[in-house]
Amino acid sequence: MDHLQRSLLNQFAVQPLDRMAHQRSDSEWLLEQAKSPNAVMYITHNGAIAVHEHRPVVLNNTHPACTSLPAHRVFLGCEDQKTPVFTANIDDLKQLEPHFPPITPVSLRELASKLDTHTASILAYALLMNRWHHTTRFCRQCGAALNSTQGGHVLECVSPDCGHVEFPRINPAVIMRVHSGDSILLARQQSWPDNRYSVLAGFVEPGETLEHAVQREVAEEAGLVVDRVEYHSSQPWPFPNSLMLGYSAWTNDKKLEIENDDLETALWVNAEQLTDHMNEGSIILSPPISISHRLIEDWFMQQTGRSIKEWQEIEPEHIR
State the average pLDDT over residues 31-52.
95
Cβ pair 83, 38 in contact under 8 A: yes
The Cα 192–Cα 2 span in angstroms is 33
Average pLDDT over residues 290-319: 81
pLDDT for the residue numbered 209: 98
pLDDT at residue 310 in the model: 81
Give the model confidence (pLDDT) of 222-239 as tens digits. Answer: 999 999 999 999 999 999
Between CA 128 and CA 219 the distance in angstroms is 30
- Tell me the average pLDDT of the chain: 93
Query: Percentage helix, strand, coil, to 5, in the chain?
Result: 30, 30, 40
Please determine, for residue 208, whether its predicted confidence score (pLDDT) is greater than 90.
yes
Q: Is the pLDDT of residue 275 over 50?
A: yes
Average pLDDT of the segment spanning 116-143: 97
- 240 cis-preceded (ω within 30 degrees of 0): yes
Q: In the prediction, which pLDDT does 185 show?
A: 98
Interatomic CA distance for residues 144 and 164, integer angstroms: 10
Q: How far apart are CA 313 and CA 58, in angstroms?
A: 34
11 pLDDT more than 90: yes
pLDDT of residue 318: 37
Asked if 10 and 294 touch (Cβ cutoff 8 Å), the reply is yes
Query: Measured between alpha carbons, how far is 310 from 295 in angstroms, rounded to an integer?
Result: 16
Give the pLDDT of residue 68. Answer: 74
**pLDDT beyond 60 at 314:** no
Is the pLDDT confidence value at 62 over 90? no
Cβ–Cβ < 8 Å for 124, 10: no
Give the integer Cα–Cα distance in Å for 148 and 34: 15
Question: What DSSP state is assigned to residue 193?
Answer: P
Residue 319 has a pLDDT of: 38
Instruction: Give the pLDDT of residue 320.
Output: 36
Q: Indicate the DSSP class of residue 93.
A: G
List the domains of the chain with CATH numbers.
12-135 (no CATH), 137-169 (no CATH), 171-319 (3.90.79.10)
pLDDT of residue 316: 45
Q: Is the pLDDT of residue 141 over 50?
A: yes
Q: pTM of the predicted model, to two decimals?
A: 0.93
